[in-house]
Structure 1
Amino acid sequence: MTSSLIRGRPRHATARIRVRVARAVVGALVGAGWLMLPVMTVGERDPVPGGAVGPVAGAAAAEHDGTSATDLVMPFVALGVAGALAGYGYLRRTRRARTRTTPGVVSSAPPVPTSLESERQARAALVLADDCVRGSEEELSFVVELFDEETIEPFTHALLAARTELSAAFAIWRRYEEGIPGDQDARRQALVGVIGRCAEAGRRLDAEAPALDRLRGLEEEGAGAALQVAEGRFRELTARTAEAQDTAAELHRRYAPSATAPVTGYVEQAKDRLVFATSRLNEARQAADAQDGARTARHLRAAEGAVAQAGVLIRGVERLSAQLREASVLVPAALTGGEAEIAEARKARSASLTAGESHARLAHADGVLAAVRTELTGGPYDPLDSLRRIARAVERLEVRRSGVVRAAALLVARGTVGEAEDFVGVHRGAVGAQARARLAEAIRALGSDAADEADRAARQARELAERDVLAHGTPYAQDGPTVGLAGAVLGGILLAEDPDAGPPTSYGGPSTRARRHLP
């Protein structure tokens, strides 16, 4: 393994090192030869023939018999070569030391993220996975109208598996927020588990996205049938929107403002989504006539997303109207059931409470029921809130609630969870992880018949989501070239990745949900 420093070195730097080593070796050899040149010339014979050697010459010859020129040259040459090799070896050792990954030496391993960074990554993973699940569910709602259950089973199964992984990730995150586990290493592993579960949810959806595209064939002959389905739902919702507007006006007349607050502005938002859908359906038709498959699929998916969210908004108004009517009928019965519970509590006197606490809670419950009775005859009121107050007052008495009080609590919880689910779904482009986590907790509690817990968690989720939407603002002008563009981005229909607000969200995970980019 090479370090990042070594990997970043240019190739010509290594070449310069080799050239320098070669020059050092050659220079050492040349220098040794230059030093030996005088010694080598001393021992050479006189080229001029001479006479007999005299006594002086004989003495000089005797002196040179002990040391020859060759004997002096070889040691110096060996010394020069040894020095050059030592220099080259030093360079090699230095280079190996830089690339070594033993302890104490800098390696290329990525740094361990801090706790804050890991939490940020976990939050982002939760939001992304939740968006992928919601977007996939929107597209699949159009597919089921064209194909039988057996054909779409792989896609519904993948969506269910992704939703299961996401629920597990939210459960881990919720325990993490509560301080469980307490050990720092275990908490770090919990965050890794959240990210891993979210990645698996996205992987399951990514794996089925290509097959769904082949089944729908929006770029080819399948666009015509898909356009007919989208246009049919569009026409149906257009008629229901007018009815929902009348329903909302009637709710405002009959009930207190708090009763209609959860769906305030929903009809206007539905109209905005439908106007956006109108423009995209027209563009999809034109692209289909021009045999431009990529544009057809892109505009059709945007229109489908807008139609789906308009349906969520209209159903929200219709559901609230039905729940308020049901709550109005249930309030008198809940009052009677609550009075019976108070009477039983007076007889039982919970052993876990002191006399003062028991008396205070009984007095509080009596006061709540009396206030609700007064509201019934005092003009417009909020039936769901009345049921909520009755159920909570009885809950504090720590006695088993009667069937009618329990039914009232479940009605309230279903309504609150549904309202929070709708709001997050049609504003998911701005809603963060905290609101989504509380919503997931509310859904889990409702599934366990923990009505009061579900109601509290859902109300918190709605408050957090509304806060996120207010902080998000409007990045795209309402009076831009495409009416409804801001609402489409806020709702997550468009992914806001391009100057024109980006591609529409499609069935799939992080790798495939934005595949409707134009070439």
Structure 2
Amino acid sequence: MTSSLIRGRPRRATAHIRVRVTHAVLGALAGAGWLVLPVMTAELHDPVPVASAGTVPGAAAPQQDGTSAADLVLPLIAGVTAVALAGYGYLRRTRRARTRTTPGTVSAQPPVPTPADSERQARAALRLADDCVRASREELTLVAELFGEKQTEPFTQALRAAETELSAAFAIWRRYEEGVPQEAGARRQALVGVIGRCAEAGRRLDAEAAALDRLRGLDEAEEGGDRGVGAALVAAEERFRELAARAVTAQETLAALRERYAPPAGGPVAGYVEQAKDRLLFATARLNEARQAADTGDRQRAVRHLRAGEGAVVQAGVLVDGVERLAARLREAAALVPAVLTGAEAELAAARRGPGRTATAGPQARPAHADLVLAAVREELTGGPYDPLDALRRITRAVERPGGSRSGVLDTAALLVARGSVAGAEEFVAVHRGAVGAEARARLAEAVRELAAGNTARADAVAGEARGLAERDVRAYGTPRLGTEAATAGLAGAVLGGVLLAETPDAGPPAAYGGPRTRSRHQD
């Protein structure tokens, strides 16, 4: 115990104690010197005389006694002073030891975080880990196109492992939000589990970041790095030109959707074409700067602008794909609606045949309510433009039941609706991740789990919640204030989309494959 405390004491404090001990010893030596000095003086300069016959014994005694008392005054004062100094130093050391916070003492223990603090840490960890996974997935899609699946397999495995850890963290967090577990200590451990899972997801990605740069030829120490940057630039520019043409087509597709279907049908992709053009504008500037930097031999600057341009190109692709996928789903849904109506009416007819059939084949909702829903959908079919996906959603929910089999066309319709909802929420979060919080991401992760488990109705509902929360976060976040020139160059959209990490006043470095430790490594 003593040795450990000594080892834990600061060196400066030890030096002060040595000085005090030295002062005390010197004071004691001075006092002892004053005590011995009279005796030495008496022996050297005033030897005891031999008494003569005529001398009266004891006549000189008074003079000797007076000299001895005077000689003892100064030594006594020095001794008392030394003792007082030593006592004062001891008291100061004792008082300081009681109030000092050194490692190993009780007062040095870190304070226990409150539940609110732990929840904030868990939310921040979830958001950071989700951002790392999404940015890593974006870059890996480009790398796989250049090098093939075989060479990128280690990075794909690391990404899958990170996705698994993150999914588990979101599942723990979702149960925590629902009040499970209930005991306070167990809830604290649940939050620790969330943070630990997120940290492990980031560690898996961090471990492969340097190897990915070496494969791409982006590492400063890698020979032939200029060729790696050049090849990546060529691939990014080719994809950019393809997306520029597709963005024009997507604009036409969106206009056709507005004419053919009711306005709410195109709501999930409202503004996507404009955002795609904004990302492409940003990509144009960054890829040009990367080309110039590569030509002058400034590889670090070239890599930074290359990654920013690549990220913007990928997000432009997500936005354009979103418009095209919605158009395809609406066409498929419109073709399914008549058959789904027929299947729903067959379900209702089976429910009305008797109580014995209702328990196994009857719908969960009341037949009268289902009849109203089906009648409203039939009226929409003949009344002009309508939203086919919303029609399928209402039909499948009207005849939904907790268990048992139902007609295949109804299951097909429910799956189409759920996939569309989950994909729409995923696209929105992906291109707005700079503003979307942990709650929306957690709902989206839950929707993905429900869809994988075959719970289509639940997946559709939770995906709608996720989309609503994400849109709320984006409205609250607003537009980053980066100046007129920055907004014109698409910088604000890049920050909103998480292409740039906004860690510095100039919007920060681009996001790259990796965890929290390596994702911002491409910076000047």
- Provide the rounded CA distance (Å) in 2 between the counterparts of 1:111 and 1:348: 66
Alignment match, 1:183: 183
Cα distance in 2 between the residues matched to 1:49 and 1:42? 12
Q: How much does 1:474 deviate?
A: 1.3
Query: Shift of residue 359 of structure 1?
Result: 11
2 CA distance for matches of 1:130 and 1:2?
Answer: 44
> Deviation at 1:85?
7.1
2:471 aligned with 1:466, yes or no?
yes
Q: Quick one: distance in 2 between partners of 1:143 and 1:42?
A: 100
CA contact (8 A) 1:287 1:295 kept: yes
Are residue 248 (structure 1) and residue 266 (structure 2) matched?
Answer: no
1:102 and 1:121 mapped to 2: Cα distance?
25
Any conservation in 2 of the 1:350–1:358 contact (CA below 8 Å)?
Answer: no
| 1:398-419 CA-partner distances (Å, limit 9, x unpaired) | 7643211111111000000000
Q: 2:265 aligns with which of 259, 265, 289?
A: 259
Write the letter of the residue equivalent to 2:212.
Answer: L
- What CA distance in whole angstroms lies between the structure 1 residues aligned with 2:365 and 2:274? 46
Structure 2 counterpart of 1:456, one-letter code = A
The counterpart of 1:294, out of the listed 284, 300, 306, is 300
Local SS of the residue matching 2:52: coil
Rounded Cα–Cα distance in structure 1 between residues aligned with 2:283 and 2:470: 25
Q: Which residue of structure 1 lines up, in the alignment, with residue 369 of structure 2? A: 364
Q: Is the contact made by 1:266 and 1:313 (CA closer than 8 Å) also made in structure 2? A: yes
The residue aligned with 2:432 is 427
The code of the aligned residue for 2:407 comes to: S
- Identify which of 367, 379, 388 aligns with 2:393: 388
Q: CA deviation at 1:24?
A: 3.4
Pick from 415, 418, 435 the counterpart of residue 420 of structure 2.
415
Q: Is the 8 A contact 1:2 1:107 kept in 2?
A: no
Displacement of 1:379 after TM fit? 0.3
SS at match of 1:241: helix
Q: Distance in 1 between matches of 2:381 and 2:150?
A: 52
Aligned to 1:192: 192
Range moving further from structure 2, 313-322 or 344-353: 344-353
Aligned to 2:351: 345
Q: Distance in 2 between matches of 1:516 and 1:349?
A: 68
Q: Residues 152-171 of structure 1 correspond to what in structure 2 (within 5 A)?
A: 152-171=152-171
1:404 to 400, 403, 409: 409
Return closer, same or farther for 1:491/1:84 CA change in 2, 3 Å cut-off: closer
| Counterpart residue type for residue 371 of structure 2 | D
**Counterpart mapping for 1:432-443 below 5 A:** 432-443=437-448
> Alpha-carbon deviation of 1:111?
1.1
Give the match's secondary structure for 1:144. Answer: helix
CA contact (8 A) 1:350 1:398 kept: no
The Cα shift of 1:239 comes to 1.0
Residue 515 of structure 1 aligns with which residue?
521
Q: Which amino acid aligns with 1:119?
A: E
1:377 maps to 2:382: yes
Q: Is the 8 A contact 2:364 2:401 kept in 1?
A: no
* One-letter code aligned to 2:378: R
Contact 1:413 1:454 survives alignment (8 Å):
yes
The match for 2:291 among 285, 295, 315 is: 285
Residues 414-437 of structure 1: per-residue CA shift (max 9 Å, x gap): 000000000000000000000000
Alignment match, 2:130: 130
Secondary structure (helix, strand or coil) at the match of 1:377 reads: helix
- Tell me which of 295, 298, 316 is aligned to 2:322: 316
* 1:57 maps onto 2:62 in alignment: no
Hey, what's the Cα distance between the residues in 2 that align with 1:382 and 1:402? Answer: 23
Q: Deviations over 1:319-356 (max 9, x none)?
A: 00000000001001111111111122223548999xxx
46 and 446 in structure 1: CA distance in 2 versus 1, 3 angstrom threshold: closer
Structure 1 residue 475 corresponds to structure 2 residue 480: yes
2:221 is matched with none
Q: Tell me, in whole angstroms, the C-alpha distance in 1 between the residues paired with 2:258 and 2:322.
A: 15
Q: Against the structure 1 CA distance between its residues 335 and 352, is the aligned structure 2 distance closer, same or farther, given a 3 Å change threshold?
A: closer
- Name the SS of the counterpart of 1:509 in structure 2: coil
Instruction: Write the letter of the residue equivalent to 1:409.
Output: A
Whether the aligned pair in 2 keeps the contact of 1:273 and 1:488 (CA below 8 Å) is yes
How far residue 30 of structure 1 moved from its aligned partner, in angstroms, is: 2.8
User: What RMSD, in angstroms, separates the aligned Cα atoms of the two structures?
Assistant: 3.5
5+ long unaligned stretches in structure 1: none
Structure-1 separation of matches of 2:260 and 2:416: 20
CA distances 1:343-390 after superposition (whole Å, capped 9, x unpaired) = 22223548999xxx9998111001000000000000000000000000
Alignment partner for residue 457 of structure 2, among 452, 459, 481?
A: 452
Match of 1:222 in 2: 228
Cα 1:83/1:25, change in 2 over 3 Å: farther
The CA distance in 2 between the partners of 1:479 and 1:254, in whole Å, is: 37
What one-letter code is carried by the residue in structure 1 that aligns with 2:150? E
Alignment-derived partner of residue 143 in structure 2? 143
Question: How many residue pairs get matched?
Answer: 505
Does the C-alpha gap of structure 1 residues 254 and 478 become closer, same or farther in structure 2, counting only changes over 3 Å? farther
What is the TM-score of this pair, normalised by structure 1? 0.88
- Deviations along 1:40-60, whole A, 9 cap, x unmatched? 766777469767255633797
Counterpart in the other structure of 1:234: 240
The share of aligned pairs that are identical, in percent, is: 65
Q: Is the 8 A contact 2:364 2:399 kept in 1?
A: no
Report the AA paired with residue 502 of structure 2: A
AA in 2 matched with 1:419: G
Paired with 1:311 and 1:106, the residues of 2 have a C-alpha distance of 57
1:307/1:486 CA distance change after superposition, 3 Å: same
Query: Structure 1 residues 477 and 22, CA, compared in 2 at 3 Å: closer, same or farther?
Result: closer
Alignment of 1:487-502 (within 5 A): 487-502=493-508
Distance (Å, rounded) in 2 between the aligned partners of 1:396 and 1:154: 44
Deviation at 1:96, TM superposition (A): 6.2
Deviation for aligned residue 1:506: 0.4
* CA apart distance, 1:39: 6.8
Provide, for residues 182-210 of structure 1, a one-character-per-residue CA deviation record: whole Å limited to 9, x for no partner: 11000000000000000000000000000
Counterpart position of 2:110: 110
Residues 73-112 of structure 1 show CA distances to partners (whole Å, capped at 9, x for unaligned) of 9x98999988887777666666666679899x64322111
The alpha carbon displacement at 1:499 in A equals 1.9
Q: CA 1:57–1:138 in 2, change beyond 3 Å: closer, same or farther? A: same
Shift of the alpha carbon at 1:220? 2.8
2:342 match: 336
